[in-house]
Amino acid sequence: MSNLTQGDRVFHPNQKGWGLGKVLNVTPDSIDVFFVGTGAKRLSQSFVQLEIAEGTAAKHRLLDNLIETSQIGSVDFVTPAMAIERFLAIHPDGFSAPSFVKEEREASVRAHQFAVQLLGESEISELIAEGRYQDVCDRARHIESVTNLLTKGEKTAFYSALETPMNQKTFSIGLAAYLYGTDSEEDRFKAFTRVLDLLGINRWPYATLFGFIRFPQEKAFIKPTVIQNVAKAFCWRIIYKAEPNWRTYAAVLRLYNHLRTSLVEEGLMPRDMIDMQSFIWSIGQK
């Protein structure tokens, strides 16, 4: 193994279940490798000849987004299979169970239906064209009230931020541009966080709530503590910062999509990010 260097992708010849690995550190006596199927392992240079992975065999979603080597030692790594086991312990019949739908999906699906009806692209555009900014905010508050995503304190801060006519106009125009604008998703996200900053509520739940509710097939809702716990458990690099930013949000979307793909590979079929949200919360709430 003396020719291996940090970052190389490898397989253990006698532990196929460990899957693909990434070399973290090499010394004359040992080599540290993170394997996607088991986590970090320290191997003796004397006893194992690792196999180099090349081409498409060297690609893996997790290894491409792995946390820094210095952070790995403090993590109790959770594989997707372990996460699925935990989820099924809570919801034995998976995503299709009536109890799951009622407890985990019903409120968010109802909020999505209201969002389409009350703040669809034509509806919000018409309200803004008529200067009915308070109506936009009233509808946004109603949509939020259907969900159980914000805490009582977060609800109070959100409602308070929309009390003045100036703030109502700022929020309405900013929300419409974020949801339906023609700029790139990154530019729209950044612009919306600037709007929230003007309103004094530039925090993750507000930055991600309405995108998630309006477009549950593709957008994620972020609760800071939960997403940090989840990212750490899966050793996924999200470069978390308390202030909403595109780099972290894009990394979280990659994590969601990685786990969504893993669930499908194991025979579980999440319908959308609402299902994924429930799956992730089953892992991240401590």
Has residue 1 been placed in a domain? Answer: no
pLDDT of the residue at 286? 55
Q: Which two tokens stand for residue 212?
A: 């998630």
What total number of domains does the chain contain?
A: 2
82, part of any domain: yes
Alpha-carbon span 62 to 148, nearest angstrom: 31
Residues 165 and 187 in one domain: yes
3 within a domain of the structure (yes/no): no
Q: Quick one: CA dihedral 263, 264, 269, 272, positive or negative?
A: positive
Q: Which domain holds residue 118?
A: 78-286
- Last residue within a domain, chosen from 72, 87, 110: 72
For residue 2, tell me if it sits in a domain. no
The predicted pLDDT at position 19 comes to 97
Q: What is the pLDDT of residue 241?
A: 97
Per residue in 109-146, pLDDT (tens digit) is: 999 999 999 999 999 999 999 999 999 999 999 999 99
pLDDT score of 143: 98
Q: Which residue ranges of the chain lie beneath pLDDT 70? A: 1-2, 285-286
Cα angle vertex 19, ends 17, 23, to 5°?
Answer: 130
Residue 152 lies inside a defined structural domain of this protein: yes
Note the pLDDT of residue 1.
45
Of residues 37, 11, 7, the one with CA closest to residue 22: 7
Among residues 57, 72, 87, which one ends one of the domains? 72
Q: φ and ψ at 239, to 5 degrees?
A: 50, 55
pLDDT tens digits, 199-241: 999 999 999 999 999 999 999 999 999 999 999 999 999 999 9
